[in-house]
Amino acid sequence: MDFIILAQTFDKLEGITSRIQLTNVLVELFKKTPSDVIDKVIYLMQGRLWPEWSGLPELGVGEKFLVKAASIAVRVSESEVERLYKQLGDLGKTVEQLRQRSVAGGLTHFIRSTSKHDVRLSVERVYETLSKVASMVGEGSRDIKIKLIAGLLVDSEPIEAKYLIRLIEGRLRLGVGDATILDALAICYAGSQNYRGFVERAYNIRADLGSIAKILASGGSESLKVIKPKVGVPIRPMLAERLSDPKEILDKVGGKALVEFKYDGERAQIHKDNGNVQIFSRRLENITHQYPDIVEVLPSSLKCSEAIVEGEIVAVDPSTNELRAFQELMHRKRKHDIHEVIKEFPVRLYLFDILYVDGEDLTTAPIAIRKEYLQKVVVQGDAVRLADFIITNDAGQLENFFLKAIESGCEGVVVKALHDQAIYQAGARGWLWIKYKRDYKSEMIDTVDLVVVGAFHGKGRRGGKYGTLLMAAYDPDTDTFKTVCKVGSGFTDEDLEGMSSLLQPYIIQHRHPRVDSELEPDIWVVPALVAEVIGAELTLSPLHTCGKGKVKEGVGISIRFPRFLRWRGEKRAEDATTVDELVEMYKGQLRRIVETAQEPT
């Protein structure tokens, strides 16, 4: 497949801000894509070479390398490339212009005729070359990388050169989310949006868009209906809704429920393939290297050949054996001396679910069956335990168990529906699981995780820096981000100093197509950075689009006196607090105010 088709599509996508149009352009592209390269086309479109969780090296070659490669390819000096780059502020555009000049000057023919390769760039060649570039390490790799990149640029059309540079820099930002790709795949290969559910289900249980597309493109629309989880490919996690009243929670899950401790640690999806163990985080990153102690004991803690199980890894105090705060796990992110760190900061894995065992897909089995399997398979020890739970239909018992959980160092409980339809809803936040957290009980509202979608220049002491961020909640129904508040307090001087370089890679020229905002910040950014925010209370606001019209006609939900607490690097934009959760929190706040007012003094 010619790479120019991809480059021209990228160019079209860049100018589009409507999701329907984005989908249409993708459908056209997929129609032109042979089934054996569809996976590569999808990865490249997402600015990568393989799924993020694979743990394989990513692209992201430094500017200096690219300037050198471009200067070799277009036969101008490095300082000339740099001069034009300074003028244009965009290396992709710079190399595109230089290629245009060399094409106009007839240089292309001269250079190409000396090139060994077929002069038209193919997607396959670009992919293979970039894979080599990404994987190469060690001495001497620098020069080979530059040569490989220059080799591609020499054979590229100007527009191809522009997107090659952006890909290699790791700065291809097309605004195409997973949801849009799923829409386009359903329309292209099954002829209609009606098939979307099957494509999505397949993606939820095998979070690899490239391979899902390939199965669909080569096996047709029936092929995805029978897809099962695969050990080594993460399953998108099932998520919980939240409520704050035990009786309401029990009603919502159908009366009887499994009530389980909500451990305050890091969610872990564990894949066992005989002696080989991999651990994936909540956002599907490969975090195996952070927990060598868990990896070591797992093969003997699971009595089966292959399995996918889920649990929470929690820091424990070795002297008291008590659970420790979530923050203690941060030490595990250190790369160099992990074997020292594991002694100082020991952890324990509390398993709460099993999704696959020895060829059997358990995601469609009700929770009672899954729990039976889990109990059969797990051999408990000091480092691996089963999560604590009770089964009840009594609100008082639920409340007591909740208090016990808090006392034991947990965040609260997760209440899980027990009926026959209570399957594992991969990739969905639904009412089969409801979290009941301590924070609802206090005067302060719970913290929320919001996504940065824009920023405002600071004034006074903060002149020349970004002083305030425009924050949004996620709306899964429309796959958009809706603004909630502007956050300007809670940042340390260090946070503020680093803000420009933190935002820099995400800055875009226009509002991102998935952002719904009535405010116009000084700069727009791609929704990617998630921050934990707290405030005095939730308020109604005509300025913000979050939950607009859901509580009161024409107004949305906002936060009064919002304060930045910390970055939530482990969360993706789509993992932010949802619009519906904020609406629910607002209603909960109203209820609490009424209850307090009614209490006898």
Percent of the chain that is helix, strand, coil (3-state, to 5): 45, 25, 35
Q: List beta partners, residue 482.
A: 473, 516
Contacts of 248 (CB under 8 A, 6+ apart): none
Minimum distance from residue 328 beta carbon to ligand ATP (Å):
16
Give contact residues for ligand ATP (rule: CB under 6 A): 239-240, 260-263, 267, 282, 312, 352, 387, 414, 435, 575
Q: 86: exposed, middle or buried (C-beta count within 10 Å: 0-12, 13-18, 19+)? A: exposed
Find out whether 418 and 391 touch, Cβ atoms under 8 Å: yes
Dump the DSSP string for 4-20.
HHHHHHHHHHHT---HH
Cβ-based nearer residue to ligand ATP, 261 or 440? 261
Given 262, 416, 482, 548, which residue is catalytic?
262
DSSP symbols for 406-441? HHTT--EEEEEE-STT----TT-EEEEEEEEEGGGG
Nearer to ligand ATP, 240 or 315 (CB): 240
Least Å distance, CB 451 to ligand ATP, is 13
Closer residue to ligand ATP (CB): 136 or 423 = 423
Q: Which single residue is written with the structure tokens 């996504």?
A: 451
State the minimum distance, in angstroms, from the CB of residue 264 to ligand ATP.
7
Choose between 168 and 415: whose C-beta lies nearer to ligand ATP.
415
Between 240 and 398, name the residue whose CB sits nearer to ligand ATP.
Answer: 240
d(CA 538, CA 517): 18
Q: Which CB atom, from 148 or from 390, has the smaller least distance to ligand ATP?
A: 390
> Which residue in the block uniquely carries the two structure tokens 């989908």?
23
The enclosing H or E element of 340 equals helix 338-344
Q: What angle do CA 150, 175, 161 make, to 5 degrees?
A: 15
Beta bridge partners of 361: 356
Place of tokens 């979070």: 207
Long-range contact set of residues 188-192: C-beta below 8 Å, sequence gap at least 24: 188/26, 188/27, 188/30, 188/31, 189/30, 189/216, 189/217, 189/220, 189/221, 190/216, 190/221, 191/221
Least distance to ligand ATP, CB of residue 227, Å:
24
Q: Is 272 among the catalytic positions?
A: no
> Residue 198 CB, nearest distance to ligand ATP (Å)?
24
In the complex, the smallest distance separating the C-beta of residue 296 from ligand ATP, rounded to whole angstroms, is 22
Decide whether 182 or 240 has the Cβ nearer to ligand ATP: 240
Task: Name the minimum Å distance from CB 394 to ligand ATP.
Answer: 19
Query: CA angle, corner 10, sides to 161 and 477, nearest 5?
Result: 150
CA-based angle 395:399:402, to the nearest 5? 135
- Catalytic residue positions? 262
